[in-house]
A and B are shown apart, each in its own frame.
Chain A
């Protein structure tokens, strides 16, 4: 089935513990892999201060999941996040119409190696200036 490149981010309140957070993340990842989709990256953010109060929460945990899957998976994930009372906010974006796992991973790798030497150069320059 045709796969698309999606990104989903959701926000949990600060009272949700580690175990529950990873359980929810695993549940969503399972939805993707069950439909022959593939996970590109799961990025749980540390506890963050919110810009405004959401259901009396001033802090929360964001999680970003990037994946490639058919559109039906997106509907399932949206349903799951809507039903879960602990999820304060969520957003899903389509990053690209086509998803090719190898190509995506390759470009990510290339970006990493591209930015890494640049950072090294900067530190070298800083040292030279000292």
Chain B
């Protein structure tokens, strides 16, 4: 077996000179109960897709698993209805 990684004990060793403290991201839909996930609300959904039209991962946006599932479904419904672009290549330019 070609395992080149040096043996490590179970301590977290931060990279040299880099100690990044991240604020824990909070799910936007858990924080604000009035905020509904709706496929018709394309403006809200746009903040959860990239410029190319891909769905942003929950890891990036901080959305919880439950709401990420709803969000994914809503974005796909919006794509079907031509409310959101599927790819940037076919998107109409403003």
Contact = CB atoms under 8 A, between A and B. Distances in A.
B84 interface: yes
Chain A interface category by residue count? 10 to 19
Nearest to B86: A52
Interface of chain A, helix or strand or loop or mixed? strand
Interface of chain B, helix or strand or loop or mixed? loop
Interface residues of B, number: 16
B86 to A, nearest CB: 7
Contact of A89 (B39, B81, B85, B94): B81
A91 B81 contact: yes
25 contacts: A9-B40, A11-B81, A49-B94, A50-B82, A50-B83, A50-B92, A51-B82, A51-B83, A51-B84, A51-B92, A52-B82, A52-B85, A52-B90, A52-B91, A53-B92, A54-B82, A60-B82, A62-B81, A89-B80, A91-B39, A91-B77, A91-B80, A91-B81, A93-B39, A93-B77
